[in-house]
Amino acid sequence: MLYALELLGIIAFAASGVAASRSKRPDLIGAFILAFATALGGGVIRDAILGVPAASFRDGNYFLAIVAGAVAALAAPSVLARFGSTLRIADALGLGLFNAAGMLKAYESGDVSPVFAVVLGAVTGTGGGIIRDVLCGEMPALLRPGELYVTTCIAGGLAGLAAFGLGATADVASALVAGVTITFRLATIRFGWTSHWGRS
């Protein structure tokens, strides 16, 4: 389950990297560099904190997943655009999937407390997006006033902890983390929710 979550998250974040690059009008190589940086950033930060080798540099499927996400974003941007901003939708998917993968890996490692597993999930989920925004010269989403970005990760992580506490399997708990995070994040995009509840 962890492996599948990471590959799906990489595809989504690679697509978000390419979508973010559009406004900067880079060449094809530049777009792919941004896709790789966005897709790998969160996982590499997580593995560095846990003190384990980064799997992304030892498994060719990670490379293929990045290429697949980047190509999909380049070839069919209108598909995601029907549901809203291509970048924000792809980012929401990557955020939720990486939050679940990071939280699960930290929780199952036994080296960190359950609460810190939630924090590490949020770090994994937001790391790639931060790198993407910095490279594009944009304010990272988690630093934008009122933006409910890390909050969605924490909500998903706490839902996962509750599931583990009730005896759920790792697959069920991680699916819940991803589902809550993605749904919450998409709702903030769709309805304009912010931490300043009086404004959109």
Task: Look at residue 193 in the predicted model and tell me its pLDDT.
Answer: 82
Task: Look at residue 77 in the predicted model and tell me its pLDDT.
Answer: 59
List Cβ neighbours of 22 (8 Å cut-off, separation of 6 or more): 77
Give yes or no for a contact between 169 and 84, defined as CB atoms under 8 angstroms apart: no
Give yes or no for a contact between 17 and 37, defined as CB atoms under 8 angstroms apart: yes
Task: Give the residue-averaged pLDDT of 177-196.
Answer: 88
Tokens read off for 41: 């950033």
Q: 33-37, 54-58, 128-132, 173-177: which range is least confident on average?
A: 54-58
Task: Look at residue 141 in the predicted model and tell me its pLDDT.
Answer: 80
Q: Could you give the percent of the chain with pLDDT greater than 90?
A: 56
Task: Look at residue 197 in the predicted model and tell me its pLDDT.
Answer: 47
> How many Å apart are CA 101 and CA 103, to the nearest integer?
6
> How many Å apart are CA 40 and CA 131, to the nearest integer?
10
Q: Tell me how crowded residue 88 is: count the other CB atoms within 10 A of its CB.
A: 20
Summarised one tens digit per residue, pLDDT across range 2-29 is 888 889 999 989 988 888 887 777 788 9
List Cβ neighbours of 55 (8 Å cut-off, separation of 6 or more): 6, 43, 47, 62
First-to-last C-alpha distance (Å) of the chain:
36
Summarised one tens digit per residue, pLDDT across range 84-142 is 466 788 889 999 999 999 999 999 988 889 999 999 999 999 999 899 999 988 888 87
**Closest residue by Cα to residue 106 from 186, 164, 184:** 164
The model's confidence at residue 83, banded by pLDDT at 50, 70 and 90, is: very low
pLDDT at residue 173 is higher than 60: yes
Supply the DSSP string of 67-98, one letter for each residue: HHHHHHHHH-HHHHHTTS-HHHHHHHHHHHHH
